[in-house]
A and B are shown apart, each in its own frame.
Chain A
Amino acid sequence: MSGNLHQAGVRFLRQLGRHAEPIMDAYLAGSLPDQALEPAVQERLVKDGILYRPEPGADLHLRRVVRALLEEALRDDRNRQIDANTGSALATFKTLAAHHKEARHQGDYAAADAYLADLKEHVYAFGETLGHGIRVLWSRINNEFGYVGSLGAKIRENELAQSQVSELLAGLEMISFEELAETAGDQRELRRLLVTSLQRTVSACSQELSIVQGRLLELLGRFRQIRGRTRLLKGWLLHMEQQPDYQVGNHAAHQNVPQLFNQAAATLAPAAVDIRNPLHEAELLALVAQIRALQPPDRFAPAPADAGELVLGEVEAFEIEHNPIREAVSAYFCQVIDSGQPISALAWRAQQELPWDAESWLYQVIGGYEGLPEEQKRHFELDPIGEAHPLYSGNFIVRDVRLWLA
């Protein structure tokens, strides 16, 4: 028997594998048109319970179980089905437990073991279904119902999820462990399955479900708030459109000003810079440097203006302003050349009654001599006349200078 089952199962899975393409097409598109498959293949798939025709003349659809298998394997968001039927599961547990007890009582241990294995399978499957339901809920919460577009659809999806959670919780409440313990009686395996293991599953699930419920409510609140805000904005605009002369009442003039409008005036103005604080010197210098950097560079180097028109013409005559003291020095030099005799500068000054004081005259003469071009300078000799300092040796005090031709 089990060998047959094994073979049939393998054949079924191979069937699925061989027609993977049309099956996925049906999964994604929702249905398969008749002409998409060869008649023989179509017949076999229908016979094996993979495809079915919901009503005569309709396209072929995937069977719910196959679809559920794919949804689960692909973690598809569209999977919203949650099995909350605790009542029938409980009835199955009790029936199988009764079978098992009866078989044991009659000493048919092989049958009892088979029933126990069957019961185990059902209890574990029950836990798995619950876990799956919660996973589905979480995945929907985690992407905030991102698979539907509008806010209204999200709110509806959220409400659906909430009703599913309440159903699951109501189903879990139906489980009475006293009754189950009674059913299990004094049999250790039954007790372990129906009481200990089931209790653990149920308490973990109900705990998680209450968290899910909290999150769903929170999300719903947020969706509603967002929708409320959108409506507030639109409503305000509508209101202003319908009543253009509407003025908001002065709510700030009430005896008790609402906290919302009790807003203090700004009191802090920016503090001023204290340039005498040595601690700030570095920062201030940096700021000053920045100020310069902020100046547009072209402000310092103005762009060359258009060149004026260049006219070639006679150079206008111009006069160099004569410096009288320099002229006097030239006259002195000329006198030396003319006479060929050494003349002392101060003597010349006295003779010509020059107005400048002695010292500046002497400096001017010395400067005039030093300022001569080298080839002219060679023809003159300038002798200082003076005496050594009486106290400090090496110092020579110049009283006069004498110029003569070399």
Chain B
Amino acid sequence: MLSTKGQVIERLLKGDFICRTTDEDGWRFLKSPANREQVDDYLATLNRMVATVGSGADSDVFFCGYRQLGEDERKVVGQQFRDVCNALTPLVEWLVLVQEAGAQDAPLTEGSALRLNELQSIVEDTPAFREQLARVSHYRLFGSTSASVDGQIKQVFKRLCELGYLVRPNPDKQIYLGTGKLDYLYEVIRFIDETESLDLEQRAESASQGSLL
């Protein structure tokens, strides 16, 4: 049917993020500078271009950005920025919950696997996590109205799949993979941290040392 190039262009125009986890062929295709140029040329007609998360050769997540920003484009970009900012706190709280429940050093990133059943049983057994999940799931971003852990966690996972932060490679199994959009999220926080000099890392470190003392 469609060539890889066609598929890549289609996905970009649909507003998808292309990373190794969601679309390995497309990702490989875009990793080659010559191919990326071809796609860029095609998108130029539509005032669009291939944008990356991070910069240089180690950029692993691709999405579609505007080439030139007029009035209308600015409106779209502004709206999207507001959406991203509104989603930040719920997503961050959820990521921290997952990391703490799994007792892991590393937060969820692209390609890391997450088993819904395991997470659910841990959360169910720990009152603090249960409370946290209830708070996270009732954010408007996730929009759960359920009172049970089961309903809340399923709704959160469903929304995360819809938003493109998770994929479920096998519909028969409750195993989810993080996508490149998570990396995008980290970049956004890092950007805000740097531009507004919030000093988030320093703050977290001193807080954790404070709790040790």
B residues 121-138 near A (Cβ < 8 Å) are none
Judge whether A239 and B203 touch: CB under 8 Å.
yes
Cβ contact within 8 Å between A257 and B69:
yes
Please tell me which one of the listed residues A235, A248, A251 contacts residue B201 in the complex, with CB atoms under 8 A apart. Answer: A235
Considering the complex, which residues of chain B in the window 86-105 have a beta carbon less than 8 Å from any beta carbon of chain A? Answer: 88-89, 92-93, 95-96, 99, 105
Alpha-carbon distance A263/B105, docked complex (angstroms): 31
Distance between Cα atoms of A259 and B51 in the complex (Å): 7
B44 contacts chain A at the CB level, 8 A cutoff: no
**Contact yes or no, A250 B76, CB < 8 A:** no
Q: Flag B95-117 by CB within 8 Å of A: 1 or 0 each.
A: 11001000001110100000000
Query: Is A261 within 8 A of B14, CB to CB?
Result: no
**A217 to chain B: closest CB distance in Å?**
14
Pick from A238, A248, A261: contact of B77, CB below 8 A.
Answer: A261
Encode contact with B along A161-190: 1 for CB under 8 Å, 0 otherwise: 000000000000000000000000000000
List chain B residues, Cβ under 8 A from A251: 81, 191-192, 195
Could you say which of B32-40, B60-68, B150-158 contacts chain A? Answer: B60-68
Within 8 Å CB of B184, what residues of A?
Answer: 260
Closest-by-CB residue of A relative to B86 is A248
In the assembled complex, how far is the CB of residue B89 from the closest CB belonging to chain A, in whole angstroms?
6
Give the chain A neighbours of B51 by CB distance below 8 A. Answer: 259, 262-263
Determine if A267 and B204 form an interchain contact, defined as CB atoms under 8 angstroms apart: no
A234 touches B65 (CB 8 A): no
Q: Are B13 and A268 in contact (CB under 8 A)?
A: yes
Interface residues on chain B, number (Cβ under 8 Å): 57
Contact with A along B7-34 (1 / 0, CB 8 A): 0001001110000000000000000000
Whether the pair B189, A236 counts as a contact (CB closer than 8 A) is: yes
Q: Which residues of A contact B204 (CB under 8 A)?
A: 230-235, 238
CA distance A263 to B52 in the complex (A): 10
Residue of A nearest to B183 (CB): A229
Residue of A nearest to B193 (CB): A232
* Closest CB in chain A relative to B101 CB, distance in Å: 14
Which one of B13, B88, B191 contacts A266 once the chains associate, using CB atoms below 8 Å?
B13
> Once bound together, how far apart are the Cα atoms of A239 and B107, in whole Å?
18
Residues of A contacting B69 in the complex (Cβ-Cβ under 8 angstroms): 257, 262
A262 shortest CB reach to chain B, Å? 4
Q: How far is the CA of A262 from the CA of B47 in the complex (A)?
A: 12
Q: Which residues of B contact A238 (CB under 8 A)?
A: 200, 203-204, 207
> What chain B residues lie within 8 Å of A39 (beta carbons)?
none
Which of chain A's residues 44-100 have a Cβ closer than 8 Å to chain B?
none
Contact indicator A260/B187 (Cβ below 8 Å): yes
- With a cutoff of 8 Å between Cβ atoms, the chain A residues found around residue B88 in the complex are 236, 248
Of the candidates B93, B193, B196, the one whose C-beta lies within 8 Å of that of A235 is B193
In the complex, A260 Cα to B54 Cα: how many Å? 8
Cβ B14 vs Cβ A268 within 8 A: yes
**B 44-85 to A, binary, CB cutoff 8 A, 1 in contact else 0:** 001010011101000000011110010001101110111011
Question: Is the C-beta of B119 less than 8 angstroms from some C-beta in chain A?
Answer: no
> Cβ of A261 and Cβ of B81 under 8 Å apart?
yes
Cα of A283 to Cα of B105 in the assembled complex, Å: 49
Beyond A229-B186, A257-B69, A268-B13, whether A250 also contacts B200 by CB under 8 A is no
Contact with B along A259-285 (1 / 0, CB 8 A): 111111111100000000000000000
User: A247 CB to closest chain B CB, in angstroms?
Assistant: 8
Is the CB of A253 closer than 8 A to any CB of chain B?
yes
- Cβ–Cβ contact A240 & B89, under 8 A: yes
Q: Which residues of A have CB within 8 Å of B13? A: 266-268
Contact yes or no, B186 A257, CB < 8 A: no
User: How near does chain A come to B181, taking the closest CB pair, in angstroms?
Assistant: 11
Chain B residues within an 8 Å CB radius of A235: 193, 198-204
- Please tell me if B172 contacts chain A, counting CB pairs below 8 Å: no
The interface residues of chain A lying within 8 Å CB-to-CB of B196 are: 248-249
B205 lies within 8 A of A262 (CB): no
Contact partner of A252 among B78, B93, B96, B200, CB < 8 A? Answer: B78
Does chain A have a CB within 8 A of B190? yes
Q: In the bound complex, what is the Cα–Cα distance between A116 and B73 (angstroms)?
A: 81
A367 within 8 A of B: no
- Chain A CB count within 10 A is highest, among B95, B109, B204, for B204
Q: Is the CB of B207 within 8 A of A234?
A: yes
B81 near A264 with CB under 8 A, answer no
Cβ-closest chain A residue relative to B188:
A260
Closest 5 CB pairs of A and B: A235-B200, A266-B15, A252-B81, A151-B105, A235-B204
Chain B interface residues (CB < 8 Å from chain A): 10, 13-15, 46, 48, 51-53, 55, 63-66, 69, 73-74, 76-78, 80-82, 84-85, 88-89, 92-93, 95-96, 99, 105-107, 109, 184, 186-193, 195-196, 198-205, 207-208
Q: A260-B188, A263-B15 are in contact. List 20 more A-B contacts (CB 8 A).
A: A150-B105, A226-B105, A226-B106, A227-B105, A229-B106, A229-B107, A230-B105, A232-B186, A234-B208, A235-B201, A236-B92, A249-B196, A259-B52, A259-B55, A260-B187, A260-B191, A262-B51, A262-B66, A262-B69, A268-B13
- Residues on A close to B: CB < 8 A? 150-151, 154, 226-240, 248-253, 257-268
Show 6 A/B contacts (Cβ-Cβ < 8 Å), sorted by A.
A253-B74, A259-B51, A259-B65, A260-B188, A261-B188, A263-B80
